[in-house]
Structure 1
Amino acid sequence: MNGMRGSRRRASPVRLTLNAILGGDIDGAWWPRTGSLASELPDLIDVLHVPLGEILDIDINWSATAAAPMLDNHFATAMRAMRWNDSRQRIMVVVGRTGCARILVVPHTTTQALGWMVMRQAAAMPVMSDDRDAPEYAVADRVLQAARVQSASSAARILDSPTEAVASKD
């Protein structure tokens, strides 16, 4: 499936960010364009083939019946008032032949400004100082904090390093 030679042309580029160094609690984020993750997954696998090698396994921390978390900066004040700190985030652990990545899945309904902010923070990309004052920055920071805590405490942490993950799959 992902051992294809050459890449196919995508109608819409995959919205994915990855940290330059993998192995953290969250290594990046994927922002699907629709609610149909299954239809977008082949393109994600194609893109991840380069940094991770042949994709061997994908683990997710949600069920088909679980509602996607709502990320919206309009709810930032309400989230703070409710002392929100863990609206169960969706995390994928993608294991390839040469690496492993823990990827936060951003709900497709997320506003553009917030979606890009979450993706930048998830991949430890620089954020302009002016953007740090935006409400999206605070919401993205809280989402990432929750995702990192979930990732660190999940069963997915059994994969201590990409080399161990790859060795255990062979």
Structure 2
Amino acid sequence: MTSASSPSPPFPAPSEVRLRLAVQPRLGRTARRIDGAWWPRSYDLAAELPGLLAVLPRSWGRISSVLVHGDTWLDCPEHLDLAGQEVHVGRRDSSTTPDTVCLLAPGRGRWDLLVVPPATTEAEAVGLMERAVTEGE
């Protein structure tokens, strides 16, 4: 079992986290769709995840588990200690969702974010993020 502490500050400031969330929440038992799009600066999850979790809506609750695609994230620890709270990191190898990260909060729900590859140009990333949060509205 591997574990990692969050990197020493500075984390990306909230204004620097590249995240776009869908305006309309999922209702009832509608088909799962993407809840937002995240454009991390690298595939270093221990460095990127603290900034992401810091800017999520409070209504989502405390994220206790994160599921990532096993081949996408480099050197992914099984647990991260973020501000004294342990976050479990699970790896999945689903070919249907290689470009997503799944965030889980007990008793609150599940949120799926499209992950825009870090090397994507700004123009492409903005377009991908916009489409991710508006498709199906």
* Cα distance in 2, alignment partners of residues 13 and 115 from structure 1: 15
- Identity within the alignment, %: 33
Q: Does 1:42 align with 2:50?
A: yes
* Cα distance in 1, alignment partners of residues 73 and 22 from structure 2: 30
Partner of 2:130: 120
Normalized per residue, the structure richer in helix is: 1
Is the alpha carbon distance of 1:38 and 1:119 closer, same or farther for their aligned partners in structure 2, counting shifts above 3 Å?
A: same
For 1:22, give the aligned amino acid: P
Q: Which runs of 5+ in 1 are unaligned?
A: 1-7, 67-85, 126-170
Q: Does 1:94 align with 2:97?
A: no
Q: TM-score, normalised by structure 2?
A: 0.59
How far does residue 61 in structure 1 lie from its aligned partner after superposition?
A: 2.6
Aligned length: 99
SS in 1 for 2:124: helix
| Preserved CA contact (<8 Å) 1:49 1:55 | no
Q: Which runs of 5+ in 2 are unaligned?
A: 1-10, 27-31, 75-94
Partner of 1:10: 13
Partner of 1:62: 70
How far does residue 40 in structure 1 lie from its aligned partner after superposition?
A: 1.1
How far does residue 49 in structure 1 lie from its aligned partner after superposition?
A: 5.0
* Cα distance in 1, alignment partners of residues 65 and 73 from structure 2: 21
Normalized per residue, the structure richer in strand is: 2
* Cα distance in 2, alignment partners of residues 9 and 90 from structure 1: 21
Q: TM-score, normalised by structure 1?
A: 0.49
| Preserved CA contact (<8 Å) 2:43 2:73 | no
The structure with more radius of gyration: 1
**Segments of 4+ in structure 1 off by > 3 A?**
86-89
* Cα distance in 1, alignment partners of residues 122 and 16 from structure 2: 15
* Cα distance in 2, alignment partners of residues 101 and 88 from structure 1: 13
